[in-house]
Structure 1
Amino acid sequence: MKLLDDDAVSERLAGVPEWRREGNEIRRTVAAPDFPTAIRIVDAIAVRAEEINHHPDIDIRWRRLHLALTTHDAGGLTGRDFELAADIDRIAAEHGA
């Protein structure tokens, strides 16, 4: 997978406004209504991640999920990161987060 240059990253970030760039990663925090919902969101993200073979870093803190995406194999950000970011946004919205 091809690395995105800075202009392409900025352009893609416009399509996922909840996400921010930090170095070679994009990050987002999702606030779920409660802990069980947070776990359901993680489960749905895990299913999607397995489907596309691209896995986020997830830190669970009660009802807050801190997510980070990067394409380790490519050494930075690729289209796969933004594809999964959009999927995570959809999953979070479906669960009221």
Structure 2
Amino acid sequence: MSKLSEQDIEKRLLHLPEWDYYDDAIHAEFEFDNFKDCFSAMSRIAFECEALNHHPDWSNTYNVLTISLSTHSAHGVTDKDFALAKAIEAIVEPEDED
């Protein structure tokens, strides 16, 4: 898997407005109503990570989930990172219920 150019990354991020690119990774932070909802989203994301065989650097503090994606073997961002970011978005977005 080859590392994407910065220009390609920025172009792809136009479709993922919650994500930013810096330090050779794409990053996002998601806030939930409470810890239980945050942990539930993390559990669902974990299944996607296993299915894609790609795992994030992530952490949570109470109701906030912070995620960084990069492909360590490519020393930067690849298609795998964007595939996982899209899967994460599909899981997290339904949490916004108005």
**Interval of TM-score (by shorter of Structure 1 and Structure 2):** over 0.9
Q: Does 1:17 align with 2:17?
A: yes
1:83 Cα deviation after fit: 1.1
Map 1:79-94 → 2, pairs under 5 A: 79-94=79-94
* C-alpha separation in 1, matches of 2:19 and 2:65: 13
Provide the TM-score with structure 1 as the length reference. Answer: 0.94
Q: One-letter code of the match for 1:27? A: H
Segments of 4+ moved more than 6 angstroms: none
Over residues 4-56 of structure 1, what are the superposed CA-to-partner deviations in whole Å (9 max), with x where a residue is unaligned? 01111111111111000112011000001111010000001100000000001
Report if the CA contact (8 A) 1:29-1:64 is conserved: yes
The answer for unaligned runs of 5 or more in structure 2 is: none
* C-alpha separation in 2, matches of 1:92 and 1:33: 12
**Which secondary structure state, in structure 2, belongs to the residue aligned with residue 4 of structure 1?**
coil
Specify the alignment match of 2:63 in structure 1.
63
Q: One-letter code of the match for 2:16? A: V
The answer for unaligned runs of 5 or more in structure 1 is: none
Over residues 51-96 of structure 1, what are the superposed CA-to-partner deviations in whole Å (9 max), with x where a residue is unaligned? 0000011111000001000000111000111111111111111233
The number of residue pairs the alignment matches comes to 97
Specify the alignment match of 2:31 in structure 1.
31
**Which secondary structure state, in structure 1, belongs to the residue aligned with residue 30 of structure 2?**
strand
Q: One-letter code of the match for 1:58? A: W
Percent identity between the two aligned chains:
31
